Structure formats: structure tokens, C-alpha cells
A and B are shown apart, each in its own frame.
Chain A
Amino acid sequence: MSAHSTSERPQPLIVGAGPAGIRAAQALVAAGLRPLVVDEAPACGGQIYRQRLVPDGRSSRDLYGSEAAKAEALHRDFAALDGKLDYWPQALLWNLRDGRADIMVAGTSRQVAHDGLILATGATDRTLPIPGWTLPGVFTLGGAQIALKSQGCAIGSRIVFLGSGPLLYLVAWQYMKAGANVAAVLDTAPFAAKFNLLRGLPLFPAIVLRGMRMTAELKLAGIALHYGVGDVRIKGSDKVDAVAWRKDGLEHRLACDGIGYGLALRSETQLADLAGCRFAFNQRDRALLPKHDAAGRTSVPGVYLAGDGAGIAGADAAERAGERAALALLQDRGLPHDPTRAATLEAELARIGRFRDVLEAAFPFPAHWVKNTADATTLCRCEEITAGEVRAAISRFGVHELNRLKAVSRVGMGRCQGRVCGAAAAELLAHETNRGVEAVGRLRSQAPVKPVPLTLALAAQREAAE
């Protein structure tokens, strides 16, 4: 370290060019630093403000609805940083070790030293296994939204949206507005849970009212909204042709050829794990998440978290958390930073956090499903392991911990690294061993965090060894 002057310090590295990463980059550039921003996606924006591959005649109002102004501001502000930072799109950061990052970009893997690391990796859909969920025509809610937003396609000609979370109604409404045929919305939570939203009114009236308006418009359009839906089964042989469920002891069935399914979101935490961050259980997200303070500092000096990758809080929070983490990085480097601004951001984040509690009560996660998941249901989509096989492995080997379960059953060992099955495996293990989900541990992350060609991984290892 001492051999290097300040100007020779490596760049700060920001992973993710969503709302969190963009605001972090902007704050670092404003302070005179030149960060490197990497993102797997071809353009900035992250999940919610994802851009199309080519223009298609739709306006940003068509794409982003009430959030169009925010989307435009973020895209514009990031574009304005051109020349003041380095930005690698279509770049997958697949490993972190010894202060270096392995990044796959344009068919090769590059090693990058970094000084200050902001992880703004976002979230993906959370799901639980249900019969038939591997059938063609079933997509996650996020996937259904991406098909519409970035590809301008509907996932079917008669579509059912199923699950829990604000995204359930939002995506159904977006499909309806786009002229797609929405057959029904199946909410896994009872209608009474929605009264919790009234508690959110004093905090964020506009958001609550917008949600109510969307629900009303879905109803007006004649779309059936069913609450308290349980024992859901997706039917079909080679693709979806119906969905069946039970409610109040009665059996229901609805023909459809596309299903958007999701139970809110889960944080992408693999990189924080590889960076060595300590994790702690987060009750609201029902997940072990990297520990961080209100500014985004982790247990590892120089590593910061921002946005949904640190715990689900939504896009408005992500913007603030990104900026806040950047201010922490500046402060920790002894650079000028704005403590008043930092305090404002933290107060706003705390307020959004209180709102998130309300949302969680209004759109609860049906963790209790796993106790009734049929043995024949596929739990791990990659390795095709059923719930019954997982149960058998738990009892045969007396398993109490998730990584042990992975070793004996292969759950979480497939290409997705447990992104899809991890939450279900944890809930099932907790249920089978009569403990809370906080007690079963979490799947350890491994490089590469997503599949990279073996030749690239080997070459990078050789380079690191030299």
C-alpha cells in the first residue's frame, strides 16, 4: 500500500447499473473519483428501469407508467457521466478474491483491482415450488414483465397472474393496459391482509392510492381477482393449459396458456458472500442477508451494499441507498462528503423501511405452503429434484443445515446456484426439522456466481496464480 500514491489507487468498482448503482456512480464522480461500473445487462437501468434492445414506438410513459420521469432521469443522469467513469455493459462479475474482481466481458475474462467496492446487485423473483411450475408458459412475474417491457411480448393469449406482492397487481395491470388478455389475478393472501395498506397511507399516500386505483381498474375491466388462493396446481402436459386451486375448501379451475408467478423478491447476495461479508437473518425478507449499517457499510472494510441486493426495499430506496453508500465510501477515504445529505438519505430510507413492513403485511409470503408441497413436485428445477427426495434426504442423513442438504441431495448445486430453489429448500428444511428458517443457514456462494465458459474460468485461475 505504502508504495502507492493516492493517484495510483485502483478505481472504486460498482457492480450493477440499476437505480442504486447509478446514484452511487453519480456521487463518486461528483467527488472527483472515476469509478468502474459493470453490469451484465446491455444498457443501464437495472430491473425496473430496464431498457429495450431497440426502440419500438412505445413512449417511456408506455413502458414505465407512473415512474416514467424517474426512469428518464436515471437514464439521462447516467448518460451524462459518460467520459467521467468507465462503464462496462454486458459484463458479468463472476468472482471476487484478494481485492480483485474477475469480470467476463466480450468473450474474455479480465481481472480488475479495485479500491472500494459498491455492490448494487439487485434482486430476482422469489418463488416456492408448485406442481407444474416447470411447464412452458409459466414465467416469473418479473419475467412476464420483462417480456412485455423490453421485448413487447405477452406471455400468452389468456394469462393468469399468481402469487403475492405489489408486482402481482402491477404486472397484471401493465398487461391489461398493453391490450393483453388477462384472465385472472390469483392472490395467495386473504383479502383482509390488504387492510394493512391503510397503515401505509400516512407514510406514502400516493403509492397506496395508485395501488388501489390499479386494483379498481383491473376489476372494472372485468378481470377476476381471487384472494386467499391455496393448493395451487398448474396443469398441462407439454405446456400450461390451466391452473387449479382451492379456496375456502372449494376446488377451482381456470383455462389459461400463460402464467406469471412470483412471491415478491429475493436479494442477490452471492458477491457479498464472496467478498467475505458477514450475514444476519432478516425477518422481513425471511432470509440471511449481508449485514450492513444504515450507510451500507458491510463487515468488510471498503465493501458497501446498496439497493435491493442488501434487502428488498424498492427502487426509490435503491436510489437513496446508492448515493448513501457512495458518501460512506468518500468519508472512509477521508474525502470531503456531505453529512447533512447523508442524514437526510438515512431518514428517507428509514421511512421507506417502515412502509416495507406495511407492504409485507399486506402481501405476505406463504411460507406455510412447504408443509403441504406434494412429494412429487419438482423443488430444484436445475437438477430436477422433487420435494419428496429432499424430505427423504433430510430424514435419512439427519440433515440440519442447508449446505449439508446440498451435499446429500444436490439441491442448490445446479446452474442457478439456488437462486430459484434456495428459499424453498430453507423453508422445507426448517419445517421438517421443526425449527425457524433462521436456524437452517444459507447456501454458500461459489465462483463463478453464474455460468462462465470453463476455459475462461481456468485461464483466470492460472493468471491469478502467476
Chain B
Amino acid sequence: MPLLHRLVRADHPSIPFTLDGTPCEARAGDTVLTAILTQADRLRLSEFTASPRAGFCQMGACQDCWVVLESGERLRACSTALSPGMRILTRRARVA
């Protein structure tokens, strides 16, 4: 079950991306955080105890929402706009 529920923008143009290899669709105007959490119930696993995390502040303060792309690039999900074709991983525990 996804964590976030869309109230608007449900008909905006779709943006394709992959989540742990699975093709997904988000909507124009989504942050990476929104794109992931409207499909899934976590962004990442924590560094030390591998417990699921899904961000906290959504305003770039807590740094709890860093995700990795398949390319190895890291980004802060709440303050990055989704771009088409992003290949996002939530499985990898170690992001630091």
C-alpha cells in the first residue's frame, strides 16, 4: 500500500521511471518522494538497523529521504523533481 494518496493532478501527463527495476508511472509535478511514495511504502532502509524510512520533514531539513539511482548518484527525494527515466533504488541499505 502506498503511503501518499493523490488528491489532485491525477490526470497530469505521466512520467515513466523505475523503482527497484520495476517500471512505474508518476505525474508531472511530482517530487521524487511523491513519485515513490504514491507507489510504495518506503524510500530506503536506514544505515545501521536497515529499518524502513520514508522521509519526515519534506522540506530538506531532516535528510531522511536520500535515495540512490542505479547510476550511483544520490539525491534528496523531497527536494528533487522527478525526471523521466530515473532508475531509483530503495533496496540498498547503505546510502552514505
Contact = CB atoms under 8 A, between A and B. Distances in A.
Given A134-B53, A156-B5, A180-B7, A142 B58 contact: yes
B6 A153 contact: yes
B57 A134 contact: no
Interface string B26-54: 00111100100110011100111101111
A416 B63 contact: yes
A239 B3 contact: yes
Contact of A419 (B42, B43, B62): B62
A414 B37 CA distance: 24
A382 interface: yes
Contact of B3 (A47, A178, A258): A258
Contacts of B34: 147, 151, 153
Given A54-B28, A136-B3, A238-B41, A143 B12 contact: no
Given A52-B29, A54-B29, A419 B54 contact: no
B7 A154 contact: yes
B52 A153 contact: no
B3 A416 contact: no
A138 B56 contact: yes
Given A54-B29, A156-B5, A381 B81 contact: no
A270 to B, nearest CB: 11
B5 A153 contact: yes
Contacts of A41: 79
Contacts of B53: 134, 136
Contacts of B59: 47, 124, 142-143, 146
B31 A139 contact: no
Q: Most chain-B Cβ atoms within 10 A of its Cβ — which of A41, A54, A144, A151?
A: A151
Interface in B3-31: 3-9, 12, 28-31
B41 A143 contact: no
Contacts of B96: 415
A40 B60 contact: yes
Q: Which of A41, A137, A147, A157 has the most CB of B within 10 A?
A: A147
Contacts of A415: 63, 66, 96
A293 interface: no
Given A53-B30, A153-B34, A416-B62, 11 more contacts: A137-B54, A140-B56, A143-B56, A151-B34, A154-B4, A239-B41, A239-B52, A381-B56, A419-B62, A420-B62, A451-B76
Interface of A: 40-42, 47, 52-54, 56-58, 124-125, 134-140, 142-144, 146-148, 151-157, 178-180, 238-239, 257-258, 268, 381-384, 414-416, 419-420, 450-451
Interface of B: 1, 3-9, 12, 28-31, 34, 37-38, 41-43, 46-49, 51-64, 66, 76, 78-79, 81, 96
